C-alpha cells in the first residue's frame, strides 16, 4: 500500500521529515528533523547533530511525505507500538 496522507498512521514513520507544530511543552514547538526511531509513546527526531525524544501524546505534527506532500496529524493518533499501528486496518 503506497504512502498517502490518508493512510500515514498505518505506515512506517522512520525516515520521514517532521516538524512539531504545537505542543503542551513549549520547548518542543518548532522542532524539526528526520524521524530516526519510534516507540509506543515517543518519536526520536534527529534535529541537527542531536537526537530529541518527542512524546507523541502531547504534540501536533507535520510530516513531509517522499513526494513532497505535507500531512498534519495529532500525535495521539500515532500512540501505539509501531508494529501494531502498521497492522491496524
Reference 28, options 17, 36, 18; nearest CA is 18
C-alpha cell at 50: 542531536
Q: Collapsing DSSP states into helix, strand and coil, what is residue 24?
A: coil
One pLDDT digit (tens) per residue for the chain, 89 residues: 678 888 888 888 999 999 999 999 999 999 999 999 999 999 999 999 999 999 999 999 999 998 899 999 999 999 998 888 877 65
For the chain, domain boundaries = 5-78
Residues 6+ apart with CB under 8 A from 78: 9, 13, 43, 56, 61, 85
Q: Which CATH superfamily is domain 5-78 in?
A: Ribonuclease P/MRP, subunit p29 (2.30.30.210)
Q: How many beta carbons lie within 10 A of that of residue 48, not counting itself? A: 8
pTM of the predicted structure, to 2 decimals: 0.89
How many Å separate Cα 79 from the centre of its chain? 10
Amino acid at each position: 500500500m503506497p504512502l498517502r496522507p490518508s493512510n500515514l498512521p498505518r505506515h512506517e514513520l522512520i525516515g520521514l521529515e517532521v516538524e512539531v507544530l504545537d505542543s503542551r511543552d513549549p520547548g518542543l514547538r518548532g522542532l524539526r528533523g528526520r524521524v530516526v526511531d519510534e516507540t509506543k509513546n515517543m518519536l526520536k527526531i534527529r534535529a541537527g547533530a542531536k537526537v530529541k525524544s518527542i512524546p507523541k501524546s502531547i504534540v501536533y505534527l507535520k510530516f513531509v511525505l517522499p513526494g513532497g506532500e505535507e500531512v498534519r496529524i495529532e500525535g495521539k493518533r500515532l500512540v501505539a507500538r509501531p508494529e501494531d499501528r502498521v497492522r491496524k486496518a
